């Protein structure tokens, strides 16, 4: 699987920032994973530039794909990590792809004064919304963001992920397939990186021991419908 330049750059920036690590990590599910991704550590100007450029390129490509993302009005970044990601991606969509959209995010606590409500930024009511998320394992966070936007009167037409771990979701299928079904069908949840992309990078860089551990984990827990 050949990697795009922006995918390689994002993997290497993430490793340098300590956001992507290979080793042995216990997930919330109790599984022992050979890698871990903490998007909260993507917190410098150059890394944010790389990440948001990758989000923007993925969105621009998905808008042209069939099936793919439909046209939309607002990017929604779930608090807190999603806030800078949505702002930066909206900027780069405009600057690099001539795609103009608003961005919004949620408050952790509803505001009862001023403009009130639980969302900040471009109003989502009556708008077509795409959600930005970081890592999809069980899909709990993305389902929560979908609920927030719908309660505020927005229509969620898609979601874009930084990393799809390609693991089985609650119904025994890939999490991506389950979320696509919620949002209207195949192509509605494009991702920048997948577990298989990480394995391709390990292979290209001769990191055989880590690659073998990744393959074994995928064989045991991977969603083969996500391949």
Active-site annotation, residues: 111, 113
CA angle 29, 42, 56 (to 5 degrees): 100
d(CA 226, CA 45): 32
Answer left, alpha or beta for residue 16, where phi above 0 means left and psi between -120 and 50 means alpha.
Answer: alpha
**Largest Cα span, the chain:** 57
Cis peptide before 80 (omega within 30 of 0): yes
Contact 157, 188 (CB under 8 A): yes
Q: Are strands 20-26 and 102-111 parallel, antiparallel or unpaired?
A: unpaired
Residue 101 has φ and ψ, to the nearest 5°, of -135, 160
Burial 120-136 (b: 16+ CB within 10 A, else e): ebbbbeebbbbbbbbbb
d(CA 51, CA 160): 12
């Amino acid at each position: 699987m050949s990697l795009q330049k922006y995918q390689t750059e994002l993997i290497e920036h993430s490793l340098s920032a300590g956001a992507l690590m290979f080793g042995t990590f216990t997930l919330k599910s109790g599984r022992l994973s050979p890698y871990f991704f903490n998007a909260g550590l993507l917190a410098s100007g150059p890394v944010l530039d790389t990440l948001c450029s990758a989000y923007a390129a993925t969105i621009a490509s998905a808008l042209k794909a069939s099936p793919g993302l439909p046209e939309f009005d607002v990017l929604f970044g779930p608090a807190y990590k999603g806030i800078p990601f949505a702002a930066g991606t909206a900027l780069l969509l405009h600057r690099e792809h001539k795609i103009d959209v608003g961005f919004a995010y949620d408050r952790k606590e509803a505001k009862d004064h001023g403009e009130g409500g639980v969302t900040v930024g471009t109003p989502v009511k009556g708008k077509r919304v795409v959600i930005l998320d970081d890592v999809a394992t069980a899909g709990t966070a993305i389902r929560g963001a979908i609920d927030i936007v719908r309660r505020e009167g927005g229509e969620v037409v898609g979601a874009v992920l930084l990393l799809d771990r390609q693991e089985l979701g609650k119904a025994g299928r890939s999490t991506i397939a389950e979320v696509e079904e919620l949002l209207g069908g195949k192509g509605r949840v494009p991702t920048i990186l997948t577990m298989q992309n990480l394995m391709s990078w390990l292979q290209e860089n001769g990191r055989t021991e880590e690659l073998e551990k990744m393959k074994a984990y995928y064989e045991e827990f991977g969603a083969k419908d996500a391949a």
